């Protein structure tokens, strides 16, 4: 088991955004976390990344308790976050954005190697490496956000709504990138409102409803579940 959340609760003031959620991600898996707006999906990812402290519960990554670790230590251990809405640094170049993802050994040989790997995967970023990130297209910004997360060579990638606001063709491209990254050894926890696409790449899934996990199982089982179909697959 690579990641385990055990009974994790998160509050924003008096509002409980997550109520005792437990989930696991095994090494090599793509696990989908699906749910409606405001269900707490982003909150779950921020909490794993150490950006929000849980009120209760425990988070274990690769055998280590990371519940109270700083975000930078969590990145160094091998968790990387692709935030919702492709939050690239708009006034920095593509290359500078990638450097920001390199937490370790900035400017050194490791950073250059990591950048070459990212450019190898996303040739379009290489062509545009001096362009300001804010002037990239939506799909290119998503690739940059993914590339930046890959700079720290994560074992586990947390992806928050990578398909949001993208045209169908680009959605397919992003999902084929997700599949490829996974085939090359990256474990992925994928948050998506596009439940159809998410369940088509994932091995297992969890349904989050108002801060609680209400359903879990193999992705194809969830995709065939009448409640899931009605609520998330528009059937």
Binding marks (x or -) toward ligand ATP, 190..209, rule CB under 6 A?
---x----------------
CB contact at 8 A, 75 and 148 = no
Q: Which residues are within 8 A (CB) of 35 and not within 5 positions of it... i.e. 6 or more apart?
A: 41, 193, 207, 208, 209, 232
55: contact with ligand ATP by CB under 6 A: no
14: contact with ligand ATP by CB under 6 A: no
Please identify, using beta-carbon distances, which residue of 4 and 209 lies nearer to ligand ATP.
209
**Residue 54: which of 63, 39, 38, 65 has the closest Cα?**
65
Instruction: Report d(CA 48, CA 79) in Å as an integer.
Output: 9
17: contact with ligand ATP by CB under 6 A: yes
Distances (CA, A) of 140 to 88, 132, 234: 10, 11, 29
39: contact with ligand ATP by CB under 6 A: yes
Task: Report the nearest approach of ligand ATP to the CB of residue 18 (Å).
Answer: 8
Binding marks (x or -) toward ligand ATP, 84..123, rule CB under 6 A?
x---------------------------------------
| Count of positions (residues) in the chain | 235
Binding site for ligand ATP (CB under 6 A): 12, 15, 17, 35, 37-43, 84, 193
């Amino acid at each position: 088991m690579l990641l385990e959340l055990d009974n994790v609760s998160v509050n924003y003031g008096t509002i409980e955004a997550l109520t005792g959620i437990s989930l696991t991600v095994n090494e090599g898996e793509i696990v989908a976390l699906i749910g409606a707006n405001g269900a707490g999906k982003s909150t779950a990812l921020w909490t794993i990344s150490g950006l929000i402290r849980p009120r209760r519960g425990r988070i274990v990554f690769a055998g280590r308790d990371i519940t109270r670790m700083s975000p930078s230590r969590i990145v160094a251990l091998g968790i990387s976050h692709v935030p919702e809405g492709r939050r690239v640094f708009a006034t920095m170049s593509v290359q500078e954005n990638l450097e920001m993802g390199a937490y370790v050994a900035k400017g050194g040989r490791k950073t250059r190697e990591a950048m070459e790997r990212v450019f190898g995967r996303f040739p379009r970023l290489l062509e545009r490496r001096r362009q300001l990130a804010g002037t990239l297209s939506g799909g290119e910004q998503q690739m940059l956000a993914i590339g930046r997360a890959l700079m720290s060579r994560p074992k586990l990638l947390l992806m928050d709504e990578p398909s949001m606001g993208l045209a169908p063709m680009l959605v397919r491209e992003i999902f084929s990138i997700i599949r490829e990254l996974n085939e090359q050894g990256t474990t992925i926890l994928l948050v998506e409102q596009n439940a159809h696409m998410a369940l088509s790449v994932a091995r297992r899934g969890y349904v989050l409803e108002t801060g609680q996990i209400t359903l879990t199982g193999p992705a194809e089982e969830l995709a065939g579940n009448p409640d899931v179909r009605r609520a998330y697959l528009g059937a």
